[in-house]
C-alpha cells in the first residue's frame, strides 16, 4: 500500500547515527514503549523501524487514503538533507536562497519534533475530549478527528515559523570522541525563559542553535564535552518513544535518565494547551511541551 510506512523522523536525518556492527549497518536504539534495547538496521523497506508509524500522516477522507501530508513531509526532507550537508561541510555561503527558502528550512526543523507520534496522540485526545473547540480549530470541523489533529500539527508549525523575522544560526560541533544522542522529540525549544534561543540536534556531532533576529546570520563554533552531555540529558528527558545513539555506551548512559523520576514527572505533565493563532489568517491551534 502506497505511503503506509510513515517515518516520524526522516531517514536522511537518522543516517547520521549509522555505524557498522557485525557487518550490519544501523543504529543503537532504546525503545521506551517496549523497554527494549537493540541494534536497528538502516537498510531495507523497514529501515529505522523504530521511527515508523503506519499511516500516521495518511487519513482516510471519503473512503480514499489521502497522502498529502506525507508528501509534504517528504518535500521537507528534500530541504533538510542538503541543509545538513552544508552544515557538515561548513559551506555556509548562500545557505538559504531567499526568505521563502529560509522559512522552508525552519519548517523542516520544526516538523522533526512537532509531527511526532506522541504529539499526534496528545492532539487527537484533546480534540476528542473537547469537541466544542472543533469549530475554532478548523474551518471544516465536521471532518474526522484525525484530519483535524493533522491539520493542527501544520497550524502549530506555521505559527512558529511565522513568528521569526530573521534567524541567527549557530552551528555547534563536538569533537570526534563525544557524540549527541537523538530522540523522537529532538527540538529543545526556548529552554531558557529569559532567552529566545532554541536547539535542534541534526547529526551525532552537530547541534544547531537558532533564535529570532532582525537579520539572518550563521556562524560555526566548537563545544566542550560538558555541553554535549547537557544537551544529551535534555534530549533524554524530552524523549517519549525512543532514543538513538551511535555508541552503545551512550545509549546505556542516557537510558538511565529515562528511567528516572524526573522523566516520569515530565511525562505525566504532557498535555495540549489551547491558544489563539497570532500569525495565521484564521483558526486556532493547540500545542504541548513541558520544559525540564
DSSP string, the chain: -TT-EEESS-HHHHGGG-EEETTEEEEEEEETTTTEEEEEESSSTTTTGGGEEETTT--EETTEE--HHHHHHHHHHHHHHHHHHHHHHT--TTSSSSHHHHHHHHHHHHHHHHT-HHHHHHHHHHHHH-GGGHHHH-S-TTS-HHHHHHHHHHHHHHHHHHT-SEEEEEEEE--TT----EES--EE-S-STT---EEEE-SSSEEEEEEEESS-EEEEEE--HHHHHHHHHHHHHH-SSEEEESSHHHHHHHHHHHTSHHHHHHHHT---EEEE-SSSSS-EEEE-----
Whether the pLDDT of residue 96 is over 80: the answer is: no
Please write the tens of the pLDDT for every residue from 42-72. Answer: 998 889 999 999 999 999 888 899 999 999 9
pLDDT band at 257 (very low <50, low <70, confident <90, very high): very high
**Quick one: pLDDT at residue 275?**
76
**Quick one: pLDDT at residue 193?**
59
Q: Which residue has the higher pLDDT, 102 or 289?
A: 102
Length of the chain: 292
Whether the pLDDT of residue 271 is over 90: the answer is: no
Average pLDDT, the chain: 89
Phi and psi angles of residue 212, each rounded to the nearest 5 degrees, phi first: -65, 140
**Quick one: pLDDT at residue 1?**
58
**Quick one: pLDDT at residue 288?**
58
**Quick one: pLDDT at residue 182?**
97
**Quick one: pLDDT at residue 251?**
94
Name the residue ranges covered by the structural domains of the chain: 5-165+241-287
Please write the tens of the pLDDT for every residue from 9-47. Answer: 999 999 999 999 999 999 999 999 999 999 999 998 889
Q: Which residue has the higher pLDDT, 143 or 232?
A: 232
Under 8 Å between Cβ of 55 and 6: yes
Whether the pLDDT of residue 284 is over 60: the answer is: no
Give the list of residues 6+ apart from residue 200 with CB closer than 8 angstroms, or none.
109, 112, 113, 186, 187, 188, 207, 208, 210
Give the residue-averaged pLDDT of 140-149. Answer: 89
**Quick one: pLDDT at residue 232?**
97
Write out the DSSP string of 244-261.
Answer: EESSHHHHHHHHHHHTSH
Whether the pLDDT of residue 292 is over 50: the answer is: no
Amino acid at each position: 500500500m502506497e505511503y503506509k510506512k510513515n517515518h516520524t523522523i526522516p531517514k536522511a536525518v537518522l543516517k547520521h547515527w549509522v555505524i557498522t556492527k557485525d557487518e550490519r549497518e544501523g543504529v543503537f536504539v532504546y525503545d521506551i514503549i517496549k523497554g527494549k534495547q537493540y541494534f536497528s538496521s538502516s537498510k531495507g523497506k523497514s529501515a529505522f523501524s523504530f521511527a515508523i508509524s503506519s499511516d500516521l500522516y495518511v487519513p482516510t477522507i471519503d473512503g480514499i487514503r489521502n497522502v498529502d501530508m506525507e508528501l509534504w513531509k517528504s518535500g521537507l526532507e528534500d530541504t533538510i538533507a542538503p541543509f545538513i550537508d552544508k552544515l557538515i561541510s561548513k559551506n555556509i555561503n548562500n545557505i538559504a536562497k531567499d526568505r521563502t527558502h529560509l522559512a522552508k528550512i525552519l519548517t523542516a526543523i520544526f516538523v522533526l519534533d512537532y509531527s511526532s507520534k506522541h504529539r499526534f496522540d496528545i492532539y487527537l485526545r484533546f480534540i476528542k475530549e473537547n469537541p466544542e473547540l472543533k469549530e475554532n480549530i478548523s474551518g471544516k470541523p465536521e471532518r474526522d478527528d484525525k484530519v483535524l489533529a493533522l491539520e493542527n500539527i501544520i497550524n502549530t508549525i506555521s505559527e512558529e515559523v511565522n513568528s521569526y523575522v530573521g534567524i541567527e544560526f549557530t552551528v555547534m560541533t563536538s569533537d570526534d570522541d563525544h557524540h549527541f544522542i537523538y530522540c523522537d522529540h529532538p527540538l529543545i525549544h526556548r529552554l531558557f525563559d529569559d532567552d529566545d534561543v532554541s536547539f535542534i540536534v541534526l547529526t551525532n556531532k552537530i547541534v544547531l542553535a537558532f533564535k529570532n533576529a532582525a537579520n539572518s546570520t550563521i556562524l560555526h563554533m566548537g563545544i566542550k564535552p560538558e555541553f554535549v552531555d547537557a544537551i544529551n540529558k535534555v534530549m533524554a528527558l524530552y524523549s517519549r518513544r525512543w532514543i538513538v545513539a551511535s555508541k552503545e555506551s551512550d545509549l546505556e548512559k542516557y537510558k538511565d535518565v529515562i528511567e528516572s523520576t524526573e522523566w516520569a514527572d515530565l511525562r505525566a505533565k504532557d498535555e495540549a494547551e489551547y491558544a489563539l493563532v497570532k500569525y495565521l489568517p484564521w483558526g486556532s491551534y493547540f500545542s504541548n511541551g513541558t520544559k525540564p
